[in-house]
Amino acid sequence: MVVSKEEIMHIAKLADLNIQENEIDEYAKNLQDILNFVDVLNNVNTDGVEETMGVISNSNVFRKDEIKEFANRDVLLANAPEQEDGMFKIPKVI
Amino acid sequence: MSREDYEIVIGLEVHSELSTKTKIFCSCPTEFGGEPNTHCCPVCMAMPGTLPVLNEKVVEYAIKAGLATNCEIASISKNDRKNYFYPDLPKAYQISQYDMPLCEHGYIEIEVNGEKKKIGLTRIHIEEDAGKLNHDDYGRGSLVDLNRAGVPLIEIVSEPDLRSSEEVDLYLKKLKSILEYIEVSDCKMQEGSLRADVNVSVRKKGQKEFGTRTEMKNMNSFRSIVRAIDYEAERQIEVLEDGGKIDQETLRWDDVSGKTFPMRDKEDAQDYRYFPDPDLVAIKISEEMKENIRKSLPEMPESRKERYINEYKLPEYDSNILISSKYFSDLFEGATKICNNPKSVSNWIMTDITKELNEKELEPSDIPFTAEELGKLVVLIDKGTISSSIAKKVLDEMFKEPRDPQKIIEEKGWVQISDEGAIKEIVLKIIEANPQSVADFKAGKDKAVGFLVGQAMKETKGKANPQMLNKMFIEELKK
């Protein structure tokens, strides 16, 4: 599988990255390397190996439905570049 | 070709906020409202290094919803990340479920023109809600409130089995009532706890393939949904009739103009790049867990209806209205327990209470008084303490400021006069003041009694017991 220029641009857009024309080849090469590696993994013989859902074999890690209030809005908002009325202020969204 | 040659095909994705106490992945309260960003913590605000832990009630409630809608419950399930950028989504991904939802292959039965129809459910999955964007006073920026971010939702996806806006309305009402009965969501439309994405397409009758669909997102009123579907189907038919083709796109319904408008740039075709959330582990549902939840399901509306018809001898029509909302049904049963007069309670709910709700554009869940208070009101009528016209005034009062009806009539001095001595005094006074009516009665005009009773009621501002008045007038006049 070869990564096309269009795919690079599409992925960059989805990831909200600003990629310059002269960077495309480099990204394509890096992504290609990753895909090649995944290809190796895809070809490993996994006959008889049980399917897993992630690297952690645990299941059913739950929390009780009990309220614990954090109650410190100032701390939560402390790093906001701008705030107003206890809310994060951001550029206007239509 | 005309309108009649087309068939409308509708599928719905309904989002319903679960009524858990806390959010889906952290211990913040889910309570609606509250000062901005006060129901938040580092987890639901997506601070680096924080980790989600799944609320067990969310899993339980979703399975409950699945069992109540005839779904198969997965034995193993997981959470996935749905990636997109929007300022109300602090992590830039929503934790949802992709290929292994908790519930699949269910159905809901609706009754269309007296015939039962099954509407298939593709799936029910769990996910987190997003925050809310407010606008600042000067229109210079947007303000982000994350109180709602992380509130648990179930998304109920239907098959494209619906064929008219009327069927959609029936389906939504049925779904809402089921969720209320099993107490997993309070379904308050005004608070956005029930919202739907509506997919509409049209095709020529007899055609097998579906037409291209458009989607209207985040609709939170049944009335708007019905209007939007009718408008959009009409629009699509017109486009096709003019030889055009339908673009698959997301539309925005505008309630004021009654039209749909394209919402998103088509280049932004959805590409959410779902992948399993590595911060969360698998959810395994044992048979035992499933059975325990099944056992916890309350009596469903159909079974209540049977009981109303058989035990309480109510007509089917009345029973259908009572079970249409859990709040009506609970109110009915609770009040009947107190007064033992099911027919009267049912009448109050179907007439005066419904009228009041409609006038104020309220939902049954907004009824402010308790079943006990309604039951006591009926007892007061049945005992003859108040007349039914006074009872209506008491009910008004119960809507305004709910309290014990006995207290209301005492405070307002609305107690019916049933004391024989007092009634006699009034009767004699009215007889003396109306010699003509007395003469009429003696001349054989029985109707004169009605007039005298009316005068006595006027005199006592509706407080005298009309049956006693009637009896005593006849006694006195015959003397």
Q: pLDDT by residue (tens digit) across B301-311?
A: 888 999 999 99
Q: Give a yes or no: residue B188 inside a domain.
A: yes
Q: What is the pLDDT of residue B265?
A: 58
Q: What is the pLDDT of residue A92?
A: 86
Q: B139 contacts in A (CB within 8 Å)? A: 92
Domain shared by B408 and B424, yes or no: no
pLDDT (mean) for B125-154: 91
Q: What is the pLDDT of residue B230?
A: 93
Kind plus residue range of the DSSP H or E element containing B313? none
Domain shared by B313 and B377, yes or no: yes
Q: Give a yes or no: residue B252 inside a domain.
A: yes
| Interface contact flag, A73 B281, Cβ < 8 Å | no
| Interface contact flag, B140 A84, Cβ < 8 Å | no
Helices (H), B51-138: 56-68
- For B118, residues 6+ apart whose C-beta sits below 8 A from its C-beta are B107, B108, B109, B161
**With bands split at pLDDT 50, 70 and 90, how would you rate the model's confidence at B445?**
confident
| Interface contact flag, B59 A58, Cβ < 8 Å | no
Nearest CA to CA, how far is B85 from chain A (Å)?
8
Domain boundary among B263, B288, B313: B288
Q: Give a yes or no: residue B107 inside a domain.
A: yes
**With bands split at pLDDT 50, 70 and 90, how would you rate the model's confidence at B102?**
very high
pLDDT (mean) for B252-280: 82
**pLDDT per residue as tens digits for the range B202-212:** 999 888 899 99
Domain shared by B110 and B252, yes or no: yes
Domain shared by B326 and B259, yes or no: no
Domain boundary among B379, B396, B412: B412
Q: Give a yes or no: residue B294 inside a domain.
A: no
Three-point CA angle B258, B361, B65, nearest 5°: 85
Ranges in chain A, pLDDT < 50: none
**pLDDT per residue as tens digits for the range B77-88:** 999 999 999 999
Q: Which structural domains are found in chain A, ordered by start?
A: 5-42 (1.10.20)
Question: Which among B42, B76, B145 has CB closest to A87?
Answer: B145
Nearest CA to CA, how far is A48 from chain B (Å)?
20
| Interface contact flag, B27 A87, Cβ < 8 Å | no
Q: What is the pLDDT of residue B424?
A: 85
Q: Give a yes or no: residue B66 inside a domain.
A: yes
User: Among positive and negative, which fits the CA dihedral B207, B209, B215, B220?
Assistant: positive
The residue range of the domain holding B231 is 3-288
B94 has pLDDT over 80: yes
Q: Give a yes or no: residue B396 inside a domain.
A: yes
Q: Give a yes or no: residue B293 inside a domain.
A: no
Domain shared by B325 and B438, yes or no: no
| Alpha-carbon torsion, ordered B455, B457, B458, B461, to 10 deg | 170
**With bands split at pLDDT 50, 70 and 90, how would you rate the model's confidence at B13?**
very high
Nearest CA to CA, how far is A69 from chain B (Å)?
6
Question: Which among B21, B37, B87 has CB closest to A90?
Answer: B87
Domain shared by B157 and B274, yes or no: yes
| Interface contact flag, A86 B55, Cβ < 8 Å | no
Most A CBs within 10 Å, among B281, B284, B286, to test the A interface? B281
3-state secondary structure of B146: coil
pLDDT (mean) for B164-180: 93
Domain shared by B268 and B361, yes or no: no
Query: Is B84 in contact with B92 (CB distance < 8 Å)?
Result: yes
Report yes or no: B34 at the A interface, CB cutoff 8 Å.
no
Alpha-carbon distance of B431 to B435, in angstroms, equals 7
> Which residue would you say has higher pLDDT here, B139 or B148?
B148
Please report, in angstroms and rounded to a whole number, the separation of the first and last CA atoms in chain A: 39
**With bands split at pLDDT 50, 70 and 90, how would you rate the model's confidence at B131?**
very high
Number of independent structural domains in chain B: 3
Domain shared by B341 and B278, yes or no: no
Q: What is the pLDDT of residue B225?
A: 94
Q: What is the pLDDT of residue B443?
A: 85
Note the pTM of the prediction, 2 decimals.
Answer: 0.82
| Interface contact flag, B38 A73, Cβ < 8 Å | yes
Domain shared by B161 and B252, yes or no: yes
Domain shared by B275 and B193, yes or no: yes
Residue burial B151-166, b: 16+ Cβ < 10 Å; e: rest: bbbbbbbbbbbbebbe
Q: Give a yes or no: residue B34 inside a domain.
A: yes
- What CATH number does the domain containing B444 carry? 1.10.10.410
Nearest-Cα residue of chain A relative to residue B141: A92
Domain shared by B344 and B434, yes or no: no
| Interface contact flag, A64 B283, Cβ < 8 Å | no
Compute the mean pLDDT over every residue in chain B, rounded to the nearest whole number.
90
pLDDT (mean) for B420-435: 85
Domain boundary among B288, B323, B358: B288
B268 has pLDDT over 60: no
Question: Which among A55, A66, A84 has CB closest to B143?
Answer: A84
**pLDDT per residue as tens digits for the range B309-339:** 999 999 999 998 999 889 999 999 999 999 9
B229 has pLDDT over 60: yes
pLDDT (mean) for B344-355: 93
Domain shared by B79 and B214, yes or no: yes
Q: What is the pLDDT of residue B255?
A: 86
Three-point CA angle B381, B385, B389, nearest 5°: 55
Most A CBs within 10 Å, among B18, B19, B20, B22, to test the A interface? B22
